[in-house]
């Protein structure tokens, strides 16, 4: 197989199309922490590298653990095709987690503790996710850790507001993961389909909960792009299951935007940030940019 094909296989293993959503999740915590700290804004570049390493490493470890299952159900993946040895995947995944822990630990004790919890959740999910139905919960908790890590990169203690987007991501990922379980088995059963829709919409409403309480006149603003994309996922992209799951994965940043977009306008109105402030620009632009990038990257490598 050509060098280019091997690179594409590695990008598929890394689920490169989902990496922009990881940065979007981190940004929610960074922005909330920055506004609450009232200090000068600084983007935590090393923490950004850490969370990307956590995500990519987890995917390499998952494919390493799933080799026997993939031989039967996903033979197009790199390991079943014997493009690389399982030991290489195990090494990449393990070293990536260690490097992520080192980088995250540079931001203090809280960041290190959350990172250790995240790594433990990755290990648990990797080991059990093909064995028990509730394994979607540790997977969702992995995503929920990302806003917390963003917050911990700015402030040394967690505060209540950042818990809301973390729980919203947990619910969204749990629902998405339940749908993804049917990827190799055909269309979603009607019962699971309606359960997933309810959870997905609930995640968006929860993410918008803080701005809806703080500024009812604008709090719904972020729900518009989220709702429109969910409508497309429930209609145009509802079948086949891989297309549906890919659409939902691309939509993860829109969960963040349901909070960031209206809160950006609220903070601007209250004089906490200015139009040229990086925080304001992140609130307005980062999530949709991550959404677009994720969707474009799905053309390069599959998101699942």
Looking at the chain, the whole-number percentage of residues with pLDDT higher than 90 is 71
Q: Count how many Cα atoms sit within 13 Å of the Cα of residue 164 in the half-sphere of its side chain.
A: 20
Domains in the chain, number: 1
For 91, the enclosing helix (H) or strand (E) is helix 86-105
User: Does 207 reside within a domain?
Assistant: yes
The answer to whether the beta carbons of residues 114 and 145 sit under 8 Å apart is: yes
Question: pLDDT averaged over the chain?
Answer: 92
> What is the per-residue pLDDT across 235-252, written as a single tens digit (0 to 9) for each?
898 878 788 899 999 999
- Residue 127 inside a domain? The answer is yes
Cβ–Cβ < 8 Å for 253, 287: yes
Is residue 266 domain-resident? yes
152 vs 113: CA distance, rounded Å: 10
Please report, rounded to a whole number, the percentage of residues in the chain having pLDDT higher than 70: 96
Task: Note down the domain range covering 140.
Answer: 3-297
Predicted confidence at residue 147, as pLDDT, reads 98
Residue 131: predicted pLDDT: 80
pLDDT band at 183 (very low <50, low <70, confident <90, very high): low
Query: Where residue 196 falls among pLDDT bands split at 50, 70, 90?
Result: confident
CA 172 to chain centre: 10
**Coil, strand, or helix at residue 65?**
helix
CA atoms within 13 A on the CB side of 21: 29
* CA distance from start to end of the chain: 22
Q: What is the CATH number of the domain that holds 267?
A: 1.10.357.140
| pLDDT score of 271 | 86
Q: Is residue 192 in some structural domain?
A: yes
The helix or strand, by DSSP H or E, that contains position 113, with its residue range, turns out to be helix 109-128
> Which residues, at least 6 apart from 216, have a Cβ–Cβ distance to it below 8 Å?
none
Q: What is the pLDDT of residue 187?
A: 61
In a domain, 302, yes or no: no
pTM assigned to the model: 0.94
The widest CA-to-CA distance across the chain, in whole angstroms, is: 58
Q: Tell me: the pLDDT tens digits for 261-301?
A: 999 999 998 888 887 789 999 999 999 999 999 999 999 99
- Tell whether 303 is covered by a domain: no
| H or E element at residue 107 | none
pLDDT of residue 227: 96
Q: Per-residue pLDDT tens for 39-64? A: 889 999 999 999 999 999 999 999 99
With contact defined as beta carbons under 8 Å apart, do 51 and 26 qualify?
yes
Residue 304 lies in a domain: no
Task: Give 162-229 as a DSSP string.
Answer: GHHHHHHHHHHHHHHHHHHTTTTT-SPPHHHHHHHHHHHHHHHHHHTHHHHHH-TTTTTTTHHHHHHH
């Amino acid at each position: 197989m050509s060098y280019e094909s091997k690179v594409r296989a590695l990008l598929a293993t890394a689920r490169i199309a989902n990496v922009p959503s990881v940065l979007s999740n981190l940004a929610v915590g960074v922005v909330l922490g920055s506004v609450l700290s009232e200090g000068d804004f600084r983007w935590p570049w090393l923490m950004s590298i850490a969370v990307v390493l956590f995500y990519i490493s987890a995917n390499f470890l998952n494919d390493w653990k799933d080799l026997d299952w993939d031989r039967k159900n996903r033979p197009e993946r790199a390991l079943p095709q014997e493009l690389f040895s399982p030991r290489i995947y195990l090494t990449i995944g393990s070293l990536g987690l260690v490097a992520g822990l080192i980088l995250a630990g540079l931001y203090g004790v809280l960041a290190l503790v959350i990172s250790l919890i995240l790594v433990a959740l990755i290990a648990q999910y990797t080991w059990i996710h093909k064995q028990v139905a509730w394994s979607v919960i540790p997977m969702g908790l992995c995503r929920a850790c990302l806003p917390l890590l963003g917050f911990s990169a700015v402030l040394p203690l967690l505060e209540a507001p950042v818990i809301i987007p973390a729980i919203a991501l947990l619910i969204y990922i749990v629902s998405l993961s339940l749908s993804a379980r049917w990827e190799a088995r055909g269309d979603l059963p009607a019962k699971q389909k309606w359960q997933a829709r309810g959870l997905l919409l609930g995640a968006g409403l929860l993410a918008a909960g803080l701005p809806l309480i703080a500024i009812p006149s604008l709090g719904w603003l972020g729900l518009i792009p989220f709702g429109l994309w969910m409508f497309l996922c429930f209609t145009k992209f509802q079948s086949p299951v891989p297309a549906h799951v890919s659409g939902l994965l691309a939509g993860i940043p829109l969960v963040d935007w349901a909070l960031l977009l209206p809160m950006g306008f609220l903070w601007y109105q209250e004089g906490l940030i200015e139009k040229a402030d990086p925080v304001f620009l992140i609130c307005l632009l980062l999530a949709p940019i991550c959404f677009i990038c994720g969707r474009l990257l799905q053309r390069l490598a599959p998101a699942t």
